[in-house]
Amino acid sequence: MKYDLAVLGGGIMGLSCAFEEAMRGKRVVVIDPNPIGHKASWAAAGILVARAGVIGNSPLREMYLRSLYGYSDWLARIELESGRSVSFERSGDYQIFPLDNRESLQAFKLQEKQLIREKASDFSISSELPSFLRPHASIQNAKVFHFPNEASVNNRLLLEALETALRQRGVDFLNAKPISWSVTKDESVLSGEVWNVQTRQVLIAAGAWCNDVLALLGLAVPLIPVKGQLAMLPNFHVQKSMIHCAEKIYLVPRGDQLVCGATTESGKWNEDFDDEGDTYLQNRLQAFFPNVKPVWSETWSGLRPRTADRLPLMGWVNEKAGIALCTGHYKSGISLAPMAARCMSALLNGEKTPAKLDAFSPWRRNGLTTAG
Q: Is the pLDDT of residue 371 over 90?
A: no
The DSSP bridge pattern shows strands 93-98 and 265-266 to be: unpaired
59: burial class by Cβ within 10 Å (0-12, 13-18, 19+)? middle
For the stretch 211-215, contacts whose Cβ atoms lie closer than 8 Å and that sit 24 or more positions apart, written own/partner, are: 212/177, 213/8, 213/178, 213/181, 214/317, 214/325, 214/368, 214/371, 215/371
Looking at 64-73, 116-125, 184-193, 275-284, which range is the least confident one? 184-193
Q: What is the pTM of this model?
A: 0.95
Between 1-5, 80-84, 232-236, 299-303, the lowest mean confidence (pLDDT) is in 1-5
Q: In which band, very low, low, confident or very high, does the pLDDT at 210 lie, cut at 50, 70 and 90? A: very high
Could you give the 3-state DSSP secondary structure of residue 343?
Answer: helix
> Distance of CA 75 to CAs 87, 155, 162, 297, Å?
10, 11, 10, 28
Residue 349 has pLDDT above 70, yes or no: yes
Mean predicted lDDT score pLDDT of the chain? 95
Q: State residue 101's pLDDT score.
A: 84
Interatomic CA distance for residues 356 and 83, integer angstroms: 33
Rounded (5°) CA angle 224-206-369: 55
Residue type, 59: P
User: d(Cα 336, Cα 63) in Å, to the nearest integer?
Assistant: 7
The pLDDT tens digits for 85-104 are 999 999 999 999 999 888 88
Residue 139: per-residue pLDDT: 86
Q: What is the mean pLDDT of residues 234-251?
A: 94
In single-letter form, the type of residue at position 253 comes to P
User: CA dihedral in degrees (332, 358, 198, 186; nearest 10)?
Assistant: 180
Looking at the chain, the whole-number percentage of residues with pLDDT higher than 70 is: 99
Q: What is the model's pLDDT at position 318?
A: 96
Assign domain 2-85+155-222+308-370 to a CATH class: alpha beta
> What pLDDT sits at residue 119?
95
| Fold adopted by 93-144+224-306 | D-Amino Acid Oxidase; Chain A, domain 2 (3.30.9)
Which part of the chain is CATH 3.50.50.60? 2-85+155-222+308-370
- Average pLDDT of the residues in 245-254: 93
pLDDT of residue 94: 97
Using a pLDDT cut of 90, give the percent of the chain over it: 92
How many Cβ atoms sit within 10 Å of the Cβ of residue 256? 8
**72: nearest Cα among 163, 152, 161:** 152
